[in-house]
Amino acid sequence: MFASFKKTYALSDAGVRHVLRGTLWTAVANLVIMAGVSSLFLAMDAFMGHLVSDAPLPALAPYAVALAVFIAVLFVAFWQQYSHTYRAFYRECGQQRIELAERLRRLPLSFFGRRDLADLTETILGDVRTMEHAYSHVLGMLFGAVVSTAIVFVGSFAFNARLTIAAFWSVPVAFALLFATRRLLEPLIRRSRAEAVGVSSHIQETLDCVREIRASNQQERYLGALGARIDAAERAQTRAELANGVVVNLAFVVLRLGLATTLAEGAAQVAAGEADFMVLFAYLLMASRLYAPFDQCLMLVAELFASRNSARRMRRITEEPVAGGSAEFFPRGHDVCFEHVSFGYGAGEDGRAGVQVLRDVSFTAREGEVTALVGPSGSGKSTCARLAARFWDADAGRITVGGVDVAHVDPEVLLRDFAVVFQDVLLFDDTVMGNIRLGRRDATDEEVRAAARAANCDEFVHRLPEGYDTMIGENGSRLSGGERQRISIARALLKDAPIVLLDEATASLDVENETQVQGALSRLLAGKTVIVIAHRMRTVEAADKVVVLADGHVAEQGSPDALMARGGMFARMVELQRAGA
């Protein structure tokens, strides 16, 4: 039972315990309040006796003591209820966000190719926020109200069965109405959420591509499409809220009908002499208090339904298999060997749909040598580099580093031996020092500066307002392309990993910046196993080995001189670049 409940609402074991304790203390608080209502009835009965039969007024001391005890017990009950609902679940949801982020960190990159990043962001922020509100405002309150109502029902039923049924019938009917319409509400909630994610995704795409949009004079088209998405999201939200509002208000009407039936049945019993007026008054008092705990639950029941969808989306992340492997990695050297490797992207991964990229690829990148991967666009060069670092796992064959199959090594452990320099550099909105230190978090300031000097960063860093402590903006927006590239190389130099994957870093740079970056690269690559994804043939000329890929297989491989002498595909590519220079 609890396992199913835990899965339905994406709770931890501690979260389930807090729901149970919150339910208990909510029930206690409701019963204490009901006891206060009973005390009020007894006081009113005593005063009515004084007015009707001239009985002496009751002593005030017992009532004063009862009031003090009532306040003290109620304070304890409410404090415990708050601790096990609000406080406990704020901590629970904070931990959920951390666990989701940790899970995402360990998932293979293929997962991110299948999922919209805006949708993932909405799950971590929006869905957890929905769960937080459902945990703290609905679950414990609803279950506690059910428990306390059941206890009061049993006690009052023994006293007057007909009046009890008249007062209580509306509670199960109102909630039955709500849960019967859940199948209607949940699709509307899912649609509303999907439209909201679509708006976020479109806004993110527009901001990412704002320069291209303005350069191609497409502002009106993109803004028109964004407006249409916002209108669709508003319509979906309106439909969901309207349907929920109609159902909830109908349930409110049904719930309050219990007061009318209590009054009608009580009046009939008083008229027939089966009960006196004070019994009717007591049941009306009880009914008015009985419905109060359910009021908030009825208003928030839509969030309870939405929370099931949110929990389902969270489970899609937490149940996704991580890229596991051994934490022990002791390679014999750092030769990177591809042995009959085949690989295809699944639907949606890396923007491709079911494309077979590599077929029976075999080559070895030796330690201390530069191995260049060349070939037409889409031939599988970048895919080979990603497979070597286990960003993806091969479908067939195997890839080894120093004789160890990378498929059996934890990706985080494996990547300690890899430094990656991409052509498209990603930097954080942090200082120059902070961005370079990503290569090795425990590096001293002097070690960071030494790596920066080796990457030829010193020259432009000293021109910045605060030197190495200058904030460089989102993705290094305050730096030029060459400066960002040199920071990326400094990061790799600081890491000093034995294997370097280099997506040719100079392809989009001017001559002056290219010379600076090439000098930094020469220091980075010395003595390492280097795999270069080559776009310019001048890079290939310095390589020890060239692997030519075409249509996902190795067309030829060997030294640059040997391949030129052979007059094959590599020689034709070189000649074409020379002719176009």
Would you list the DSSP string of 136-176?
IIIIHHHHHHHHHHHHHHHHHHHH-HHHHHHHHTHHHHHHH
CB atoms within 10 A of CB 486: 30
- What is the overall mean pLDDT for the chain? 83
Q: What is the pLDDT of residue 351?
A: 47
Q: What is the pLDDT of residue 273?
A: 85
Provide long-range contacts, Cβ within 8 A and 24+ apart, for 562-567.
none
- Strand-pairing partners, residue 558, are 546
CA atoms within 13 A on the CB side of 263: 6
The residue ranking higher by pLDDT, 349 or 19, is 19
Based on DSSP, count helices (H) and strands (E) in the chain, helices before strands: 25, 10
- Strand-pairing partners, residue 404, are 401
- Strand-pairing partners, residue 365, are 336
**Distance set, CA 397 to CA 226, 360, 362, 535 (Å):** 46, 8, 9, 27
**Distance set, CA 294 to CA 81, 148, 247, 276 (Å):** 16, 11, 15, 29
67: part of which helix (H) or strand (E)? helix 60-82
- Strand-pairing partners, residue 530, are 370, 500
CA dihedral (129, 14, 6, 119) positive or negative: positive
Give the least confident one: 257-261, 271-275, 421-425: 421-425
In tens, the pLDDT along 480-534 reads: 877 888 888 888 888 888 998 887 665 555 566 566 666 666 766 778 898 988 7
49: part of which helix (H) or strand (E)? helix 13-53
Report field, pTM of the whole predicted structure over 0.95: no
The residue ranking higher by pLDDT, 508 or 551, is 551
